[in-house]
Structure 1
Amino acid sequence: MIPEAGLAALWLAASLSVLGLLLSALHVRGTIDADRPVRGLAVVQGLLCLFAFVMLLIVFARTDLSVALVAENSHSAKPFIYKVAGAWGNHEGSMLLWVTVLGLSGAALAVFSRQLPSRTLIAALGAQAALALGFHAFLLFASNPFARLDPAPIEGRGLNPLLQDPGLAFHPPTLYLGYVGLSVAFSLAVGAMLAGDVDRQLARAMRPWVLGAWIFLTLGITAGSYWAYYELGWGGWWFWDPVENASLMPWLAATALLHSVAVLGARNALKAWTMMLAVIAFSMSMVGTFLVRSGILTSVHAFAVDPTRGAFILALLGIYVTAAFGIFAVRAANLREGAPFEPVSREAGIVVNNLLLTVILGIVFIGTLYPLIAEALTGEKLSVGAPYFNSVAGPLAILLGVLLAVGPLLSWRQERRPIARKLAIPALFAATALVIALLAMPQASLLAKAGLALAAGLLPATIIPLIGRNPLRTPLTIWGMAIAHLGAAVSIGGMAADTAFTTEKLTAVAPGDTVDVGPWLVKFESVSPVAGPNWTAVEAELRASRGGGVHILKPQSRYFTDPPTETNEAAIQTLLSGQLYTVLGKSDAEGRYQLRLWWKPLVTLIWFGGLLIALGGLLALLGHARRSWRRRVFR
């Protein structure tokens, strides 16, 4: 009865979304006063979605093979953590997680955003109910997670071994919290445009949702990048895979929206920009959902193979985005901007920032979707990979980084002091790093050298806004901005260092052989069979030495039976100066094993910087929460 209870909860939640949509429409038109009923319906709908998802977790934890989704994606011998994580390691379960986060977001909006005018809040809840209704319909009619099997199989097929990793328990949920969190910003924008209340009060209500979504997207992308880096055994941290781009595009839009909503809150300006970016950000989340869930991509991330599901999601995307941009087109002319600002000002810097982010988003969007569209029209497969993205988006990203250093040093409305004096120290750091890079690394790409120079200049630029302030009295929002920008500098430095300094060695070795890579000597000591809870493997023992220090690494070549899959488990030695990355391949007729080695100086800065960016966002979120609490208590 557990699956039936979950399915019944979904049907009831869908019914409540219809009722909530109707009541909110009547409230906005002024026909009835439905403020309390609409908010109550949003809360109950969110709880019903949560109940349905808990039911799915239970059937996966029990390995209930009478449920088709469990039989196709689980196995009795699978470790318990992966049984539970398998609930969202598939198409139907991941979409139920999406709907659950969507429902809970609507419930939280109903409970915590009462400072908004009633008409705006109820219109936003109506937009959220419309989103929920579409995805409820998708689950119930195209992707039922609780469908039964009769008779039940004796054993399940198991989960994709590449997804049997602790990263799976963290990466997808955080991304979904980011994706669906942007739905609230979307709904608030739609509600405010319908009610005609685009002002500072809206910005205060919207900013925590944008910040929260942006934090989770940052964490999800960072975790996903590191998961792919160590789990797939290819030694890279970003491949410009379409599914990677599916998470990057909402993050770019959310970053622009975060800066725009800050201007709306502080200066009552950039109203049209903020409304447009709120629509674009959630649209990019929908595009990402379409890419991953449509079946048009073949990827470890992509679950659906049924094109009808893709058509359903594409229809939802078309309906929601067309309706939102239609409302924007009608209402944008009525959006009155706040106080004007000069070309050299913080507002102007944020406008340029948003333009650059939007252009980069467009580049990634075209590079991701064009091959798919071309294949659909001509049948010819095209490949748009790293060379395109690096050469086209890379220089714009460098310009964006320069603006990241300049923007926080500008004043609101008009910069009255010479900006060159403020930038003297960052410029000196950047120039020094660039000269060193040009002289010491002639073989490195110009983009890598520019990245190192940019990171060097960003480091002091992030500290300058804190100079002269009392650390204990400095607002958390200022600390958050500084730490997030510092994280960007650290990540850029790690990316540039990895590109400029990485050395690689691919060779065939037998026990006793020694290989050098960078400053390391790696001896292939032995190879032996090992077994895990649901896999067997061939494991090599490597003795890596450098400057008197010795480290033992044990890369594996694993074989899973359910489903039959071979994987490479990289062994990585992490030091402050970088990572030694080792991968064991297949053996040949002579008993030698393929061994792939990388020495990656400072590569860990990439993910450490990502964590700093998320930490900065969290501090800013806490600062806004404290300011909001004080405003309510002391008003």
Structure 2
Amino acid sequence: MESLAGVAGGHESATDPSMSIEWLPELGFFALLLALAASVLQAVVPLLGAWRRNPLWMSFAQPMAAAQFCFVGLAYLALTLSFYNDLFSVAYVAQNSNSLLPWYYKLSAVWGGHEGSVLLWSLMLSAWGLAVAVFSGRLPRDLLARVLAVMGMIATGFLAFVIKTSNPFARLLPLPPGDGADLNPLLQDPGLIVHPPMLYMGYVGFSVAFSFAIAALLGGRLDAAWTRWVRPWSNIAWAFLSVGIALGSWWAYYELGWGGWWFWDPVENASLMPWLAGTALIHSLAVTEKRGTFKSWTVLLAILTFSLSLLGTFLVRSGVLTSVHAFANDPSRGTFILVLLGITVGASLLLFAFRAPRVTTRGAFSWISRDAMLLANNLLLLVMMLTVLLGTLYPLVLDALDLGQISVGPPYFNLVFVPLSAALSIFMGLGPISQWKSMKGAELRRRAWPGALVALVIGIITPLLYRGEWSLGVSLGLAMALWIVLPLGRDLLIQLRRDGPRGLKRLSRSHYGMVLGHLGLAVSITGVTLVSHYGVERNARMAPGTSVEVSGYRFTMTSLDERRGSNFIADRATIRVERDGRLVRLMHPEKRVFLASRQAMTETALAAGLLRDLYVALGEPLDGGAWAVRIQVKPFVRWLWAGALLMAIGGLLAASDKRYRLRRKNRIDATGTAPFEEVGR
């Protein structure tokens, strides 16, 4: 009995609780097989039913989506319990956990490595499919069947990937280790608990927009109703991705010890590209719903956005990148994802090539109109995305072709992004004050010049008041942010003057969501501008009793002690921060050594505030009992993440607009279909 317990969980006692759950990995793998079977049925049967107009076959879509979610959820639960109970006979648990690991990191370690993170991706994909099945009951039955069938195809690919190349339940038998290798110390942080799930929810959420687009093309129907159904899903996915990217930036800021919030790392870029395309998509959907234009363009953006999400998955998991964020794995995994990406993109674009030319667009607009401003907005976002794509992939292509190795870093991206962002802000400001379809140039100028003048004047004088000297970069950034916000305020003031508070109540949630989204971007631009130009950094040699002056603050190391945690030991400094002789904060940066892996990690000390952060990180020990210390004063850095949060709230608010709830007139008829604008067949 003792030997069985040891095999099951790497423990010696016959009373070990792991004995009662030694079958969990096999249950989890069997659940994955059942989930794969459900996804295949979900992909095939409803699609055939829609083709043959068979209501019974179409009705398979929703229960199969529910079954897929239940089986993937069961597999995920089995893996989670394996981590929680230290089942080190499971290879993935042994490689990414340790008996000394706190329980909350054991639970988040489930997605701390490649196999578990792909399982989390599959779980979220099935959850999105279930949400579509539950909340889209009033969709035309054939459209819903096609949407869920496409999501079933995507799930089939990923579940096959998990089972074939990334099985998280593989055993280490007959002699499992007595303890685990430990979770990467970099991941033993609250950031791991919140960042990957949010990011994956955004990535995977765009599969819904993609599935709606493919379903509409398969059915030969594209109209404003299609965009009304897909807009809330796209807004929610975009909101999750915005929060996920912001959390990743925040995590890197305080965890890596260098104080940066964005490094243009290839894996960071992998999340930025679908965000840029998704931003273009939600704007294009607004035009298609409102005016009936941009139909083909909107479908193409839906395909592009999800394709970029898959590309990010390939970059992170193929082993082609060396990054602090990447999962370097064997080439077979990268090949599988590359094939999946090729099939998805190739088949989608082929279908688009056949169907899109038959789409008729009735709406027309002049080059001075809100339609034109949104088109320019879309094009600039796509140019920005292509800029990131080129800078990310070009070095990889050169290396793959043995043409040499180059590094494309911040100088390239900053040089290109700043002028593109400035141009984007111009059209963002013009959009809210322009009219749909057509307007006179003189009228647009009349509406634009007051806001432009105010933005320019405030942008020029603010650096003079803030630091006593003028800065072109600061003035440009602040003027951009103000120009985005002021036209929105003009609209609200007009409504208030015209109808009083009742006028503001008449505005839709979608409108207020747009206002919050644009305001959030302006807040982030302000944070980027001020922290980039006014942030101060100093590397100092410090020992107990020494002081350093940085940007008006006095940092004094008062003591240096040893601290022991549950799975680490740390050198812990106490640093007294004063300004004008008054105590501001006691800060406690640490240098931790984790017991299982013997890896050292920096634990940054932060004194956070709305207007500035004080940032202290211990470097390496020096002779004489001194330490290398990095001290930074970072003004307005919190505005970066506050802006992203405002954008996400705006996306969720827009998604909750009551007009996106299907009305009675959109209910399906007795045959399971509903009237649409037909694409020529």
1:15 aligns with 2:37: yes
After superposition, residues 275-354 of structure 1 pair within 5 angstroms as 275-354=299-378
Q: RMSD in angstroms over aligned alpha carbons?
A: 1.9
How much has 1:410 moved relative to structure 2? Answer: 1.6
1:528 aligns with 2:554: no
**Residue matched to 1:631:** 663
How much has 1:31 moved relative to structure 2? Answer: 6.6
Does the Cα contact within 8 Å between 2:577 and 2:585 map onto a contact in 1? yes
3-state secondary structure, aligned to 1:237: coil
Does the Cα contact within 8 Å between 1:20 and 1:42 map onto a contact in 2? yes
Does the Cα contact within 8 Å between 1:259 and 1:350 map onto a contact in 2? yes
Q: In structure 2, do the counterparts of structure 1 residues 297 and 445 end up closer, same or farther at CA, with 3 Å as the change threshold?
A: farther
1:237 aligns with 2:261: yes
1:433 aligns with 2:458: yes
1:75 aligns with 2:64: no
Does the Cα contact within 8 Å between 2:570 and 2:593 map onto a contact in 1? yes
How much has 1:439 moved relative to structure 2? Answer: 5.8
3-state secondary structure, aligned to 1:170: helix
Does the Cα contact within 8 Å between 2:50 and 2:58 map onto a contact in 1? no
* Cα shift readout 1:490-546 (whole Å, capped 9, x = no counterpart): 100000001111111111122211111112111121211111111111111111111
Greater CA deviation, 307-316 or 445-454?
Answer: 445-454
How much has 1:293 moved relative to structure 2? Answer: 0.9
After superposition, residues 196-595 of structure 1 pair within 5 angstroms as 196-378=220-402, 380-416=404-440, 418-436=443-461, 446-467=472-493, 468-469=495-496, 470-547=503-580, 548-595=582-629
1:160 aligns with 2:184: yes
3-state secondary structure, aligned to 2:142: helix
Q: TM-score, normalised by structure 1?
A: 0.96
* Amino acid paired to 1:185: A
Q: In structure 2, do the counterparts of structure 1 residues 57 and 279 end up closer, same or farther at CA, with 3 Å as the change threshold?
A: same
CA distance in structure 1 between the aligned counterparts of 2:104 and 2:516, rounded to whole angstroms: 34
CA distance in structure 1 between the aligned counterparts of 2:596 and 2:265, rounded to whole angstroms: 26
Q: In structure 2, do the counterparts of structure 1 residues 524 and 92 end up closer, same or farther at CA, with 3 Å as the change threshold?
A: same
**Residue matched to 2:141:** 118
CA distance in structure 2 between the aligned counterparts of 1:55 and 1:464, rounded to whole angstroms: 55
Out of 599, 603, 608, the position equivalent to 2:642 is: 608
Does the Cα contact within 8 Å between 2:245 and 2:272 map onto a contact in 1? yes
CA distance in structure 1 between the aligned counterparts of 2:170 and 2:360, rounded to whole angstroms: 52
1:5 aligns with 2:27: yes
Does the Cα contact within 8 Å between 1:449 and 1:500 map onto a contact in 2? no
**Higher RCO, 1 vs 2 (CA within 8 Å, ≥6 residues apart):** 2
**Residue matched to 2:210:** 186
How much has 1:166 moved relative to structure 2? Answer: 0.9
1:64 aligns with 2:87: yes
Gaps of 5+ in 2: 1-22, 497-502, 668-681
**Percent of residue pairs bearing the same amino acid type:** 44
How much has 1:586 moved relative to structure 2? Answer: 1.5
Gaps of 5+ in 1: none
Does the Cα contact within 8 Å between 1:25 and 1:123 map onto a contact in 2? yes
Q: In structure 2, do the counterparts of structure 1 residues 444 and 495 end up closer, same or farther at CA, with 3 Å as the change threshold?
A: farther
How much has 1:448 moved relative to structure 2? Answer: 4.3
How much has 1:549 moved relative to structure 2? Answer: 4.1
Q: In structure 2, do the counterparts of structure 1 residues 438 and 514 end up closer, same or farther at CA, with 3 Å as the change threshold?
A: closer
3-state secondary structure, aligned to 1:564: coil
1:128 aligns with 2:151: yes
CA distance in structure 2 between the aligned counterparts of 1:385 and 1:449, rounded to whole angstroms: 25
1:55 aligns with 2:78: yes
Does the Cα contact within 8 Å between 1:190 and 1:324 map onto a contact in 2? yes
Does the Cα contact within 8 Å between 1:444 and 1:500 map onto a contact in 2? no
Greater CA deviation, 479-488 or 301-310?
Answer: 301-310
**Residue matched to 2:47:** 25
Q: TM-score, normalised by structure 2?
A: 0.90
* Amino acid paired to 2:646: L
How much has 1:403 moved relative to structure 2? Answer: 1.6
How much has 1:379 moved relative to structure 2? Answer: 6.3
How much has 1:261 moved relative to structure 2? Answer: 0.9
Q: In structure 2, do the counterparts of structure 1 residues 630 and 8 end up closer, same or farther at CA, with 3 Å as the change threshold?
A: closer
Runs of 4 or more, structure 1, over 6 Å off, are 440-445
* Cα shift readout 1:336-363 (whole Å, capped 9, x = no counterpart): 1132112111111111111000000000
* Amino acid paired to 1:281: T
1:618 aligns with 2:652: yes
Q: In structure 2, do the counterparts of structure 1 residues 558 and 161 end up closer, same or farther at CA, with 3 Å as the change threshold?
A: same
CA distance in structure 2 between the aligned counterparts of 1:51 and 1:410, rounded to whole angstroms: 52
Does the Cα contact within 8 Å between 1:12 and 1:48 map onto a contact in 2? yes
**Residue matched to 1:103:** 126
3-state secondary structure, aligned to 2:401: helix
Does the Cα contact within 8 Å between 1:61 and 1:80 map onto a contact in 2? yes
CA distance in structure 1 between the aligned counterparts of 2:584 and 2:373, rounded to whole angstroms: 50
* Amino acid paired to 1:375: D
* Cα shift readout 1:30-84 (whole Å, capped 9, x = no counterpart): 2744111122212211221122112211111112111111100001110111000
Out of 200, 217, 228, the position equivalent to 1:176 is: 200
How much has 1:457 moved relative to structure 2? Answer: 2.7
CA distance in structure 1 between the aligned counterparts of 2:119 and 2:666, rounded to whole angstroms: 41
3-state secondary structure, aligned to 1:472: helix
* Amino acid paired to 2:492: L
* Amino acid paired to 1:39: Q
How much has 1:301 moved relative to structure 2? Answer: 1.8
Does the Cα contact within 8 Å between 2:610 and 2:639 map onto a contact in 1? no
Does the Cα contact within 8 Å between 2:591 and 2:603 map onto a contact in 1? yes
Greater CA deviation, 243-252 or 107-116?
Answer: 107-116
Greater CA deviation, 389-398 or 33-42?
Answer: 33-42
Q: In structure 2, do the counterparts of structure 1 residues 446 and 241 end up closer, same or farther at CA, with 3 Å as the change threshold?
A: farther
How much has 1:314 moved relative to structure 2? Answer: 0.6
* Amino acid paired to 2:63: G
* Amino acid paired to 1:79: P
